[in-house]
């Protein structure tokens, strides 16, 4: 989609439809005739409320304030209302008071995110016809402000497209997206960028003694792999490691999930999709931050060779894990990949992304990322990035009493808690056992189980994969780069 800015009078616009924001119910700047009509149909201009005045080629949307999150959501709602309508190829945005470059970026992100639709498996897909957006500004005469707005639009384009890229990966079925395909996607990212990629296959995993991930993969016809993507600029300001859970499908293993719980388990690769999307964006933004993306790609299936409850696994860092539930496999994969990532990279910050626990959804609901760790510093960076990115994070605190629940009588640690309560935190505490002492204060775990895949539209997010974590982490990395 092509975005442009204009300081001309909007009456000169000769496109197809004009988007008009009505802020906090204020109809002061609305055309008088339109205002009368809007009053007749009881248009209150509440947040995300849309009215399409077809004969006038105007599209009104309500926004409660100029908060960037609300602007992003309202823009997405407006674009969804004209999605697939062939008449609308060129949209203009009417001037709106007090919009800065951050507001413009949020609006552009909302347009691109709202314009997303996953159509790969539709025999007759409905597609968007929107090709061009012209943003009319009240005053665009200051060259510095104009440059800042253009940079904001470019940022929005890269970040939203990376998010949509992640959404596509999450939404792809397990028959079409298995570990080898994730590796192919990673390699493709490197073809037209400065990113580098290294893939560890079974022999290398065995050499690295990554026995936990190998155990999880044993019953699958698809071989596991560990993907390592690298963005290595000259003289980086910081070094950041990202780790993603890439369960391309999770049946639960021998601790088989109920059939209803298996539906949408294609989304268990959302952590991997987030890391791939982040690396795509970082490669295009070319930030002065060295970023390493590690993905444990594996499928958890059933069969005669499946790993079993009661098995004891030897993880890469030498710790032994008693398996009490084969459906708690994501933490086993992350245990090995986190250990490998720390071996390979001396990072300033380490973040892992995983659809790890249903308990996090119970605790925080479907729209919030749970963050956990030992130190405030990396968590504060996430909280600071949360509001401008539009992704919600809430901290879940570790405590010594919950740690006792993952004690094992026969191994160093159990892969599940002895209590049904506090499951998101005990899973995070399990992962902390695989963080080296010198890295304890650098690491934060992000449980994205809630927002990664939701079966209805919410805000700027569609049904299905949301690309959770991409905008959040790109914003964090951009803050580090300042």
Domain locations in the chain as residue ranges: 2-164, 174-481
pTM over 0.75: yes
Q: What number does CATH give the domain 2-164?
A: 3.40.220.10
d(CA 63, CA 255): 47
| C-alpha dist (Å) from residue 249 to 66, 171, 246, 406, 428 | 41, 12, 9, 25, 21
Q: CA-CA distance, 472 to 222, in Å (whole number)?
A: 31
User: pLDDT value at position 97?
Assistant: 85
How distant, in Å, are the alpha carbons of 5, 100, 341 from that of 316? 53, 49, 11
Tokens of 421: 């309560």
Confidence (pLDDT) at 117? 97
Q: Which residues contact 137 (CB under 8 A, 6 or more apart)?
A: 5, 6, 7, 95, 99, 149
Which one from 132, 201, 257, 383 is the annotated catalytic residue? 257
- The whole-angstrom separation of Cα 245 and Cα 268 is 8
| DSSP tag of 458 | B
pLDDT at residue 389, rounded to an integer: 98
The C-alpha atoms of residue 315 and residue 236 are separated, in whole angstroms, by: 32
Report how far residue 208's alpha carbon sits from residue 314's, in angstroms, rounded to the nearest whole number. Answer: 12
Phi, psi of 429 (to 5 degrees): -65, -35
pLDDT of residue 142: 80
CA-to-CA separations, 470 to 206, 266, 279, in angstroms, rounded: 31, 18, 9
Which of 175, 66, 155, 188 lies closest to 470, judged by CA? 155
Q: 2-164 and 174-481 share one CATH topology?
A: no
Q: What's the chain's average pLDDT?
A: 96
Residue of 324, 331, 379, 442 marked catalytic? 331
Pick among 3.90.1150.10, 3.40.630.10, 1.10.150.120, 3.40.190.10: CATH of 174-481: 3.40.630.10
Low-confidence stretches of the chain (pLDDT beneath 50): none
Question: pLDDT (tens digit, 9 = 90+) per residue, 364-420?
Answer: 999 999 999 999 999 999 999 999 999 999 999 999 999 999 999 999 999 999 999
Map residue 155 onto helix, strand or coil: helix
Distance CA 120, CA 101 (A): 34
pLDDT of residue 143: 84
**What is the bridge-based pairing of β-strands 132-136 and 2-6?**
parallel
Cα dihedral 157, 369, 442, 198, rounded to 10, equals -50
Told to judge if 331 belongs to the known catalytic residues of this protein, a careful annotator would answer yes
């Amino acid at each position: 989609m092509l975005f442009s800015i204009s300081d001309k009078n909007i009456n000169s616009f000769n496109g197809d439809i004009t988007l008009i924001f009505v802020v906090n119910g204020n109809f002061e700047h609305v055309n008088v005739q339109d205002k009368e009509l809007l009053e007749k149909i009881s248009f209150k201009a509440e947040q995300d409320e849309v009215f399409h005045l077809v004969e006038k080629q105007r599209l009104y949307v309500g926004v409660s304030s100029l908060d960037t999150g609300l602007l992003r959501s309202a823009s997405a709602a407006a674009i969804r209302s004209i999605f697939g309508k062939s008449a609308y190829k060129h949209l203009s945005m009417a001037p709106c008071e007090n919009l800065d470059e951050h507001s413009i970026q949020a609006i552009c992100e909302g347009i691109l995110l709202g314009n997303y639709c996953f159509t790969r498996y539709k025999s007759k897909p409905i597609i968007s016809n929107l090709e061009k957006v012209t943003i009319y500004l009240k005053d665009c005469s200051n060259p510095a402000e104009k440059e800042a707005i253009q940079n904001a639009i470019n940022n929005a384009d890269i970040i939203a497209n990376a998010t949509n890229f992640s959404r596509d990966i999450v939404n792809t079925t397990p028959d079409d997206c298995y570990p080898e395909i994730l590796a192919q996607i990673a390699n493709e990212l490197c073809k037209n960028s400065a990113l580098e990629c290294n893939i560890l296959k079974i022999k290398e995993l065995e050499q690295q003694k990554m026995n936990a991930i190998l155990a999880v993969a044993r019953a699958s016809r698809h071989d596991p792999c560990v993907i390592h993507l690298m963005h290595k600029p000259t003289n980086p300001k910081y070094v950041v490691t990202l780790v993603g859970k890439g369960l391309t499908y999770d049946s639960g293993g021998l601790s088989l999930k109920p059939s209803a719980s298996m539906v949408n388990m294609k989304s268990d690769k959302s952590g991997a999709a987030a890391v791939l999307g982040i690396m795509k964006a970082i490669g295009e933004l070319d930030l002065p931050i060295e970023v390493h993306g590690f993905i444990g790609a594996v499928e958890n299936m059933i069969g005669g060779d499946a790993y079993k409850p009661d098995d004891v696994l030897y993880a890469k860092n030498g710790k032994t894990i008693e398996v009490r539930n084969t459906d708690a496999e994501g933490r086993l994969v992350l245990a090995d990949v986190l250990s490998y990532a720390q071996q390979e990279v001396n990072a300033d910050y380490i973040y892992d992304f995983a659809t790890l626990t249903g308990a996090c959804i119970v605790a925080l609901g479907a729209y919030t990322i749970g963050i956990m760790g030992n130190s405030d510093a990396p968590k504060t960076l996430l909280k600071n990035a949360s509001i401008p990115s539009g992704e919600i994070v809430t901290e879940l605190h570790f405590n010594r009493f919950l740690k006792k629940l993952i004690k094992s009588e026969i191994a160093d640690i159990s892969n599940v808690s002895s209590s049904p309560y506090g499951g998101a935190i005990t899973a995070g505490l399990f992962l902390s056992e695989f963080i080296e002492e010198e890295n304890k204060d650098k690491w934060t775990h992000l449980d994205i189980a809630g927002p990664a895949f939701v079966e209805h539209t919410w805000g700027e997010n569609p049904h299905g994969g949301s690309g959770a974590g991409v905008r959040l982490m790109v914003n964090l990395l951009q803050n580090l780069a300042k």
